[in-house]
Structures are given as structure tokens and as C-alpha cells.
Structure 1
Amino acid sequence: MSVVLLVAPPLLHLARVRMTRAQPRPDRPHASLLRFTVAKAILVALAIFATWLLQSVTAYAEIIIGVAMAATVAVLGPVLHPSLLISPRKPELKNAELTTATKDG
């Protein structure tokens, strides 16, 4: 599980960098791998804690938590998705453009 949580996001980031170099990304919001990784880590930590709490009560703790995780992702995923997106960076002005803009206007 930790391999998926800690190794997959950097590999996805490298793949995204390569794709962006080959074909520039349009000016629209895109997914933040850091935010998705943090959200995934929080969900997994809550699932482990809930499983630990339910193990003494029922023998089906893993199944209950698995269904609860699927329901949580299905319900809260679309709600939280816009907050996990980041807007593209605006191009920075070069010093020459900046000084020209301040002198002219």
C-alpha cells in the first residue's frame, strides 16, 4: 500500500512533465498530485483506524470499511474534486517588459 501511496505520485508527476514538454497544456485547471496524494493518505489512515476500531466488534471489519471507502469516494469525490485542482501559472513578465510597461503607463 505504501508503494502505491508514495511511489506512484512522483512517477505520475514525471510522466506529466514529459507530456507537457511534448505538448503544452492548455490554460485550464489541472489535478494537483500533491493534493490528491494527501487526500489519499488521509482516507487510508482513516480506513486503518476504523478497521482497528471495528476488529474487536465484528469479524467483517475489512469488508465494512472497504464498502465505506468506496461509498466515501463515490459521494465525496465529485464534491471535493474542484478543490483538488490548481489553476495554471500565469507567464511571468521579463524585466525588459516590466520596465517598459512602467515607463509607458
Structure 2
Amino acid sequence: MSRALIPFWRFALREKISIETLEGPEDLDLPADFQPGQTLVLPRRGPWCADGSREDLYVKIDVFFPSDFSPKARNKLKELAEFLEKEEKDAPSGRDRN
């Protein structure tokens, strides 16, 4: 199993991620319901078998959270947090948060 480490903003925005395969990097979309720590299965992109077929490639997706931010980035994160907290507070109860 291989591992891909992606920044939290790329994960949250569901931007394409680059996975290293035996043939080189491959850009993939994450499924909407995908969660950190889950494993993506890339059919027939793993090691070659003796019979000439390919195994599947399993890639565990981990999310990276920086330990420090620039002052500008920190302010943007605070703005986002305030916006999301207000949006959650104003949402009707029982609303699907996806």
C-alpha cells in the first residue's frame, strides 16, 4: 500500500490530487464522501503479476495540517471559521451538512 499526503485545503475543496503510480503521477478526483485515512483503490495500476496481469494499487490518503500559518493565511482561516460557524448556526436543524 502506498500513501498520499495532501494539504487540508485541497482535500476540503475536492481538488484533483496527484497519486504516484508505477507509470508516474496520475491526477485523480476524490469521491464526494471520501474521508481522511480512507484508501483509494486504483484497479490494475499496482505491481505486475507473473502471468502479465496487474494488481490493484492501494493508496491511503492522509490529510496534512500545517503546524504554522502566515499571519495572512491565519486571518483567512479565521474568516472562514466565522463564516462556517454562522452558516451552521443559521441552518435549519436536521439539515444535511454535506
Higher relative contact order, structure no. (Cα contacts within 8 Å, ≥ 6 residues apart): 1
Mark the structure with the bigger radius of gyration: 1
* Structure with higher strand content: 2
Q: TM-score, normalised by structure 1?
A: 0.27
